[in-house]
Structure 1
Amino acid sequence: MSSLFQNSYYLAINFNAILYGVELVLYGMTMNALVKNRKKWTRTDKFYMWFSTALLFLITIYMSTEAVFGEEMWIVHQDTPGGPIQFLIDNADIWYQTMGTTASVILNLFSDALLIYRMYVVWTSYYVIMFPCFLYVATIGLGIIELYASGKPNADFFVGTAAQLGVAYYTTTISLNIIATGVICGRLMYLGRALEAARNTQGRGKGVVRYTGTLSIVIESALPYSMAGFAFLVAYGIESDISILFGALYGMFTCVSPQLIVLRVVTGQGWTKDQTAQSVSALEFENLGTSRSAAATTAIETAAQSEGTSTMDHKSIGSAHDMV
């Protein structure tokens, strides 16, 4: 471990603190929205309340253990023979670091489960989520193995067998993140065009334009979560000392991105099955209208070509054009 690792670790702790503050604000806004409508609570609202609280609890454990380890390494045990780096090597398997890693893995499982559910919401098809569900089951097994390998005596999360298993685990879970993000982004852009077409042609869809903007797609697809995960996976895979920084960002977005989705849902701005059904209906309506218009135009052109022998005169052709 070099000085670059120590600098990256220091920056990671600071970014953890900043993003933890963001999470506290988002959690407060979510709870405020739920409390205001407590007389109309549904089972879904109660689930999101407990889900948000669990996210906050787990991310608190994760960022606290990282901060405490930094304090122990740089301040409390600064005079350890070999310096902070030797302290890190000797105590990488300390119990509270294992607890922090466990909280991170559980948080990852929560976030991935929400992403899979959001994939189902925008597609309303079980076939779309079959492969992500397979990856999800694989992450559970790999996550348990990784926790054992990194938490046993003399183990190090960044070195040896634990690091190799870590690459397998993070490759699987981040692949799931990227697939889910891509599928949700593509679906929302596709449905967004249908809503926009309905709004322009029939005046429908005006109330759901807020669901199709760039910001809504970024939040709904958890794009920051996947991007941070990809950056961490690359750095971790090549055993770069900067991986600890990207790992911290990935860990925090594991909480922040799902919390943003929950906030949009409880405030009535998140994509729902109703919006999906409305978008599909609008798209079918648009396609039906296009087909009818194309058929009428073809009939008119055929009639015009046979003008000499047809009973349709120029006036009737003009009327047909007006009808289209």
Structure 2
Amino acid sequence: MNMEIRDFEHAYYIGSYLSGILYGLELALYFMIMKKLCKKEAIGNTRMRRFLAVFSTIGLVLFTIDIACNAVWGEIMWINGRELPNGVPEFFETMVYVWYQTLGSTSVVTMIFLGDGLLLYRLYIIWGSKWKIMVIPIMAYLAAFALAVVQLVLSGKPGGNFFGKETTVYGTPYYVITIGLNIFVTTMIYGRIQWLIGALSGTRVKRSIKSCRLYVSPAGAFIESAALYSIVGILYLVPYATESQTAICFGQVWAKLTFICPQMIILRMASGHAWNRERINEAETTMNGQISSVVFDDV
């Protein structure tokens, strides 16, 4: 037991430091987004800009709550917990379900569903507003939400443990569905963008070198598909499902990426560099041979 707690402490410590670095990245992304949205020449209509600003602000608040709760719990564990008769192991057994830990977990789950909601919206847009492509992802989204609520209730009750066996019975399928949804959406978005790029390369599409790089670069497709979110999700799922103490490290990093990756997409949207409904329609019209060229204006 002591060895497991020691491994947990190491993983929690490393995860907390990496989370601090990612929080700095989140702050930078947030202020860059707000700067873009506040400009008079900002891309999109007022309603969309207001939505993106509110969405980003809510995400930053949730991100801050998670960081703060983890920091407080870690401080109390390593300082006050040492005074208990059995030290940190006793603290872990009696305080893992404390209210602010449940608050932190709730903020993470909320970030996940906000981020996944944005990815589903992007999937809908990039696939030409076709509802039939959304049926399975929406069903998975709702199923994951139900399992997440059960997991939070079990982990927050007296004696509950977010990484305990009772909780992982619901937590494992929750993460399998959520991360599986991420992988599916990432693959569909990335594949669609690459297909559009390949199809457009065979047409006489007039665009500047700058615009070409903005819309069809591998980095742009990687960001738009939130590929990093899915990759780290897989790295987290394996130790979590096997009840490894290292799961907390990967979990903290993955939890932060659940909103950082969507924020990177929002930054591209606010900058006018993202694929939008108009650009998708232009691309599809071009490929159908209805027009001979499309001009992508520089932003």
Check if 1:173 corresponds to 2:178. yes
Q: Displacement, 1:225?
A: 0.8
1:123-173 deviations in Å (ceiling 9; x for gaps):
021111110000111112111111111111101111121121111211111
Distance across 1 between alignment mates of 2:45 and 2:283: 27
Q: How does 1:145-224 map to 2 (within 5 A)?
A: 145-198=150-203, 201-203=204-206, 207-224=211-228
User: Which of 19, 22, 27 is residue 19 of structure 1 equivalent to?
Assistant: 22
Q: Displacement, 1:245?
A: 0.6
| Equivalent residue, structure 2, for 1:263 | 267
Structure 2 length normalisation: TM-score? 0.91
Count of residues paired in the alignment: 286
Check if 1:61 corresponds to 2:61. no
| Equivalent residue, structure 2, for 1:314 | none
Q: Displacement, 1:195?
A: 2.7
Name which structure has the greater RCO, CA cutoff 8 Å, separation 6+.
Answer: 2
Distance across 2 between alignment mates of 1:106 and 1:64: 16
Q: Displacement, 1:204?
A: 5.1
User: Which of 277, 280, 286 is residue 282 of structure 1 equivalent to?
Assistant: 286
| Equivalent residue, structure 1, for 2:136 | 131
The runs of at least 4 aligned residues of structure 1 exceeding 4 Å deviation read 38-41
User: Which of 9, 12, 16 is residue 9 of structure 1 equivalent to?
Assistant: 12
Letter in 2 for 1:214: P
Instruction: Say what the alpha-carbon RMSD is for the aligned residues.
Output: 1.9
Letter in 2 for 1:173: T
Q: Displacement, 1:275?
A: 1.7
Distance across 2 between alignment mates of 1:230 and 1:92: 25
User: Which of 33, 36, 58 is residue 36 of structure 2 equivalent to?
Assistant: 33
Contact 1:158 1:239 in 2 (8 A): yes
Distance across 2 between alignment mates of 1:48 and 1:81: 50
User: Which of 231, 234, 253 is residue 230 of structure 1 equivalent to?
Assistant: 234
Distance across 1 between alignment mates of 2:251 and 2:168: 13
Distance across 1 between alignment mates of 2:93 and 2:49: 45
Letter in 2 for 1:185: Y
DSSP 3-state at the match of 2:131: coil
Distance across 1 between alignment mates of 2:283 and 2:41: 30
| Equivalent residue, structure 2, for 1:244 | 248
Q: Which has the larger radius of gyration?
A: 1
User: Which of 48, 52, 55 is residue 48 of structure 1 equivalent to?
Assistant: 52
Distance across 2 between alignment mates of 1:117 and 1:209: 24
| Equivalent residue, structure 2, for 1:118 | 122
Structure 2 residues not aligned, in runs of 5+: 293-299
DSSP 3-state at the match of 1:156: coil
DSSP 3-state at the match of 2:79: helix
Q: Displacement, 1:233?
A: 0.8
Contact 1:122 1:184 in 2 (8 A): yes
Distance across 1 between alignment mates of 2:115 and 2:274: 16
Letter in 2 for 1:37: K
User: Which of 264, 272, 278 is residue 276 of structure 2 equivalent to?
Assistant: 272
Contact 1:210 1:269 in 2 (8 A): yes
Deviation larger for 167-176 or 206-215 = 206-215
Letter in 2 for 1:256: I
Distance across 2 between alignment mates of 1:202 and 1:264: 22
1:20-77 deviations in Å (ceiling 9; x for gaps):
0000000000000111128885211100000000110111111111111110000232
Contact 1:139 1:172 in 2 (8 A): yes
Distance across 1 between alignment mates of 2:121 and 2:159: 39
Distance across 2 between alignment mates of 1:202 and 1:31: 33
Q: Displacement, 1:202?
A: 4.9
Change (3 A) 1:68 1:277: same
Structure 1 residues not aligned, in runs of 5+: 289-324
Distance across 1 between alignment mates of 2:67 and 2:202: 46
